[in-house]
């Protein structure tokens, strides 16, 4: 994993974006900082400028409806998360559709203020769902070789470009900065990588459960991949590749891709941060980490993914047993080098306080941290009501413009895996944002710390409705998270 390489410049690229999008206590999160390089002319959450939930394509492109019966191999979620191999299933249109749906498919819908909102199978900061997924297919039974955009609403593939060069079917995850920037402004660029990691944790797990080796690459030739899928590098950026098997990824463009339609709103700071990290070559996939020696029983991965949602309210009066901290953490951090800490509020046989994973024997601080976490997480009660809160952070000086992206993506992967592990074992979880300036003090680390992401894990206060299948999302009434201490 090449994330520990260099030094970002705090006055350009990813370093500048990180600095100018860091939350501090004396400025509201939706007020832009006092710097001309962030846009001051955009009104966050303006209903008039709300971007559509997906990319648009004009009629006339070849469309392939994917089978709506998903072939569930019935593998326990915990086995997949532990890294235990699964029997191979044929990679046909139905299995490819299962992988895409259980990562990016529409599983729930909700109505709010007369508008319909689509919720996908994996979470997204603020439910902005700013990602697109393309499949560059090679030899998938029932799917012509080509570059296809996944239409998550219709559970269909829309062919946007001719077949690529390369041998192995590869999913390309892209991000649309404005779709999340509409609410979070330039900080949304960080969210693209958090959300992509979260999505890729599910895409990878679902592929692995079908006996297909998921090979995740965060280093790839950006310009070629942009050309491959028709991402213009301003309104849409390629974020990561997931090949479905070993071998040379099918990512060499052989013709013009259809660009598709996105609102023409640019966040120049995001464009510059993305550009600064662009490279020409392709990296090795993330190395396969050793499997865990044991895994507890659980429902199948497919059932757990359907059940997953972000818990909006946790019951702070109830604790989790110690194995529900140890096992999800061990599974979520398999092969991940980004440092993690755990703030324990209510875990049996673990004293409340702050720990540097994997050492749970000696707290860095033995204390009730609920009030501190509440303050650092912008008064969001989940951070105080959780049984424990997982914190990913790394010194900024260890990152360059590319490995900064990798670190954010890795934090998202951990967040997504923690979710699946928690739901597999009867607990619940939610991603969580934070006041950057306050985290070094919490962790006792120098100020040069890039805080990446928080994940809350705890006991749910209510039962969520499982999501629906392709073309049949379940209608839900959104539960609003609490603000302030409970
Ligand atoms: C990276 C990430 C960060 C998140 N941050 C927060 C947060 O700060 N506060 C919160 O209440 N929920 C947070 N969430 C949960 C999202 O609001 C949730 O995923 C979204 O509403 C979609 O709902 P679902 O996860 O139930 O499908 C976060 C989720 C992700 C993936």
| Atom of ligand 1 minimally distant from the CA of 377 | 8
432 lines ligand 1 (CB under 6 A): yes
Using CA atoms, how far apart are residues 473 and 331, in angstroms rounded to an integer?
29
Q: How many CB atoms lie within 10 A of CB 175?
A: 24
Which of the four pLDDT bands, split at 50, 70 and 90, describes residue 71? very high
State yes or no: pLDDT of 1 exceeds 80: no
Asked if residue 433 lies in contact with residue 451, where contact means CB atoms within 8 angstroms, the answer is no
Using CA atoms, how far apart are residues 188 and 433, in angstroms rounded to an integer?
12
Using CA atoms, how far apart are residues 240 and 402, in angstroms rounded to an integer?
12
pLDDT in tens, 7-38: 899 999 999 999 999 999 999 999 999 999 99
Using CA atoms, how far apart are residues 104 and 416, in angstroms rounded to an integer?
13
194 lines ligand 1 (CB under 6 A): yes
Give the CA-trace dihedral at 140, 146, 150, 155, to 10 degrees. Answer: -50
Mean local confidence (pLDDT), 322-337: 98
Contacts of residue 36, defined as CB under 8 A and 6 or more positions apart, other chains included, come to: none
Which of the four pLDDT bands, split at 50, 70 and 90, describes residue 49? very high
- Tokens describing residue 122: 């994996």
| Atom of ligand 1 minimally distant from the CA of 124 | 31
Using CA atoms, how far apart are residues 332 and 328, in angstroms rounded to an integer?
6
Using CA atoms, how far apart are residues 401 and 424, in angstroms rounded to an integer?
36
What's the per-residue H, E or C state across the chain? CCCCCCCCCCCCHHHHHHHHCCCCCCCCCCCCCCCCCCCCCCCCCCHHHCCCCCCECCCCCCEEECCCCCCCCCCEHHHHHHCCCCCCCCCEHHHHHHHHHHHHCEEEEEEECCEEEEEECCCCHHHCCCEEEEEEECCCECCCCEEEEEECCCCEEEEEECCCECCECEEEEEECHHHHHHHHHHHHHHHHHHHHHHHHHHHHHHHHHCCCCEEEECCCEHHHHHHHHCCCCCCCEEEEEEEECCCCECCECCCCCCCCECCCCCCHHHHHHHHHCCECCCCCCCCCCCCCCCCCCCCEHHHHHHHCCCCCCECCCCCECCHHHHHHHHHHCCCCCCCEEEEECCECCECCEEEECCCCCCCCEECCCHHHHHHHCCCECHHHHCCEEEEEEEEHHHCCHHHHHHHHHHHHHHHHHHHHHHHHCCCEEEEECCCHHHHHHHHCCCCCEEEEEEEEEECECCCCCCCCECCECEECCCCCCCECCC
pLDDT in tens, 271-302: 999 999 999 999 999 999 999 999 999 999 99
Q: How many CB atoms lie within 10 A of CB 259?
A: 15
Which of the four pLDDT bands, split at 50, 70 and 90, describes residue 112? confident
**Which residue has a Cα nearest atom 19 of ligand 1?**
123
pLDDT in tens, 142-196: 999 999 999 999 999 999 999 999 999 999 999 999 999 999 999 999 999 999 9
Range name among 21-25, 112-116, 334-338 with the lowest pLDDT average: 112-116
> Mutation test of ligand 1: which of 130, 184, 432, 458 has the most ligand atoms closer than 8 Å to its C-beta?
432
Backbone angles phi, psi at 341, to 5 degrees: -120, 160
The larger pLDDT score, comparing residue 112 to residue 448, is at 448
Q: Which letter, b or e, does each residue of 452-465 get, where b requires 16 or more Cβ atoms within 10 Å of its Cβ?
A: bbbbbbbbbbeebe
What pLDDT is stored for residue 3 in this prediction?
A: 43
433 lines ligand 1 (CB under 6 A): yes
Across all residues in the chain, what is the average pLDDT?
96
How far is the first Cα of the chain from the last one, in angstroms, to the nearest whole number?
A: 41
| Atom of ligand 1 minimally distant from the CA of 467 | 27
**Which residue has a Cα nearest atom 8 of ligand 1?**
432
Q: Is pTM, for the whole model, over 0.95?
A: yes
Asked if residue 197 lies in contact with residue 413, where contact means CB atoms within 8 angstroms, the answer is yes
Using CA atoms, how far apart are residues 148 and 132, in angstroms rounded to an integer?
11
Contacts of residue 182, defined as CB under 8 A and 6 or more positions apart, other chains included, come to: 42, 44, 45, 46, 49, 50, 51, 128, 188
Mean local confidence (pLDDT), 246-255: 98
464 lines ligand 1 (CB under 6 A): no
What pLDDT is stored for residue 176 in this prediction?
A: 99
pLDDT above 70: percentage of residues in the chain: 99
Q: How many CB atoms lie within 10 A of CB 78?
A: 24
What pLDDT is stored for residue 5 in this prediction?
A: 54
Using CA atoms, how far apart are residues 170 and 203, in angstroms rounded to an integer?
12
| Atom of ligand 1 minimally distant from the CA of 308 | 26
> Mutation test of ligand 1: which of 373, 409, 412, 431 has the most ligand atoms closer than 8 Å to its C-beta?
431
Distances (CA, A) of 166 to 176, 216, 314: 26, 16, 47
415 lines ligand 1 (CB under 6 A): yes
State yes or no: pLDDT of 2 exceeds 60: no
Mean local confidence (pLDDT), 235-247: 98
Give me the residues paired with residue 170 across strands: 136, 243
> Mutation test of ligand 1: which of 119, 125, 201 has the most ligand atoms closer than 8 Å to its C-beta?
125
- Tokens describing residue 224: 């070629």
Q: How far is the CA of 27 from the centre of ligand 1 (A)?
A: 22
State yes or no: pLDDT of 485 exceeds 80: no
Mean local confidence (pLDDT), 119-134: 98
What pLDDT is stored for residue 486 in this prediction?
A: 64
């Amino acid at each position: 994993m090449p994330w520990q390489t260099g030094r970002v410049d705090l006055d350009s690229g990813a370093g500048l974006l990180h600095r100018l999008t860091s939350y501090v206590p004396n400025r509201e999160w939706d007020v832009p900082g006092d710097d001309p390089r962030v846009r001051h002319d955009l009104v966050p959450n303006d209903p008039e400028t709300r971007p559509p939930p997906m990319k648009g394509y004009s009629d006339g492109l070849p469309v392939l409806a994917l089978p709506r019966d998903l072939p569930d191999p019935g593998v326990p979620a915990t086995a997949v998360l532990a890294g235990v191999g699964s029997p191979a299933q044929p990679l046909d249109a139905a299995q490819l559709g299962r992988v895409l749906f259980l990562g990016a498919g529409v599983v729930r819908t909700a109505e709010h203020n007369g508008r319909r909102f689509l919720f996908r199978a994996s979470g997204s900061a603020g439910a902005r769902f700013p990602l697109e997924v393309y499949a560059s297919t090679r030899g998938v039974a029932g799917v012509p070789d080509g570059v296809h955009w996944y239409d998550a609403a219709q559970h269909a593939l829309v062919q946007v470009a001719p077949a690529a060069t390369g041998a192995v079917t590869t999913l390309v995850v892209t991000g649309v900065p404005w779709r999340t920037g509409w609410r979070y402004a330039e900080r949304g660029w960080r969210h693209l990588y958090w959300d992509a990691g979260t999505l890729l944790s599910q895409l990878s797990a679902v592929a692995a459960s079908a006996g297909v080796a998921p090979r995740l690459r965060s280093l790839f030739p950006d310009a070629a991949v942009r050309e491959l899928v028709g991402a213009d590098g301003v309104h849409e950026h390629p974020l990561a590749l997931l090949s479905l098997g070993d071998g040379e990824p099918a990512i060499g463009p052989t013709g013009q891709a259809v660009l598709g339609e996105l609102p023409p709103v640019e966040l120049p700071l995001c464009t510059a941060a993305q550009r600064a990290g662009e490279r020409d070559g392709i990296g090795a996939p993330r190395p396969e980490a050793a499997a865990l020696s044991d895994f507890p029983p659980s429902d199948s991965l497919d059932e757990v993914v359907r059940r997953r949602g972000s818990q909006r309210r946790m019951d702070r009066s109830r604790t989790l047993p110690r194995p529900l901290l140890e096992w999800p953490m061990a599974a979520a951090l398999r092969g991940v080098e980004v440092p993690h800490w755990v703030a324990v509020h209510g875990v049996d046989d673990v004293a409340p306080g702050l720990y540097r994973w994997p050492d749970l024997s000696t707290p860095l601080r033995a204390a009730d941290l609920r009030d501190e976490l509440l303050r650092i997480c912008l008064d969001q009660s989940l951070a105080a009501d959780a049984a424990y809160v997982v914190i990913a952070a790394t010194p900024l000086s260890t990152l360059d413009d590319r490995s900064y992206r990798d670190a954010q993506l890795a934090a998202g992967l951990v967040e997504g895996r923690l979710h699946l592990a928690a739901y597999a074992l009867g607990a619940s979880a939610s991603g969580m944002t934070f006041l950057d300036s306050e985290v070094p003090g919490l962790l006792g680390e120098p100020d040069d710390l890039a805080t990446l992401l928080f994940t809350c894990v705890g006991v749910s206060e209510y039962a969520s409705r499982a999501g629906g299948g392709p073309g049949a999302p379940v209608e839900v009434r959104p539960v609003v998270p609490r603000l302030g201490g409970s």
